[in-house]
Amino acid sequence: MTPRGKFISLEGGEGAGKSTLLAGLQAHLVEQGVDLVQTREPGGTPLGEAIRAIVLDAGRRDLSAESELLLMFASRAQLVRERIEPALAAGKWVLCDRFTDASYAYQGGGRGMPMERIAELERWATNGLTPDLTLLLDLPVATGRARAAGRGEADRIEVEADAFFERVREVYRTRAAADPARFRVIDASLTPAQVLEAAIGATHHLFGAVA
Binding site for ligand Z5A (CB under 6 A): 12, 14-20, 41-42, 72, 97-98, 102-103, 106-107, 147-148, 157-158, 188, 190-192, 195
Identity of the residue, 126 or 203, whose beta carbon is nearer to ligand Z5A in the bound complex: 126
CA distance 108 to 165: 12
Q: How far is the CB of 133 from ligand Z5A (least distance, A)?
A: 17
Identity of the residue, 114 or 192, whose beta carbon is nearer to ligand Z5A in the bound complex: 192
Peptide bond into 131 cis (omega under 30): no
Identity of the residue, 2 or 116, whose beta carbon is nearer to ligand Z5A in the bound complex: 116
Identity of the residue, 42 or 131, whose beta carbon is nearer to ligand Z5A in the bound complex: 42
Identity of the residue, 90 or 159, whose beta carbon is nearer to ligand Z5A in the bound complex: 159
Q: How far is the CB of 52 from ligand Z5A (least distance, A)?
A: 7
Q: Computed from CA positions of residues 113, 157, 130, 87, in that sequence, does the dihedral angle turn out positive or negative?
A: positive
Provide the β-strand partners of residue 134: 9, 183
Adjacency order of strands within the sheet including 183-187: 36-40, 93-97, 7-12, 133-138, 183-187
Buried b (16+ CB within 10 A) or exposed e, 191-203: eeeebbebbeebb
Q: How far is the CB of 2 from ligand Z5A (least distance, A)?
A: 28
CA distance 110 to 90: 36
Q: How far is the CB of 115 from ligand Z5A (least distance, A)?
A: 13
Q: How far is the CB of 191 from ligand Z5A (least distance, A)?
A: 6
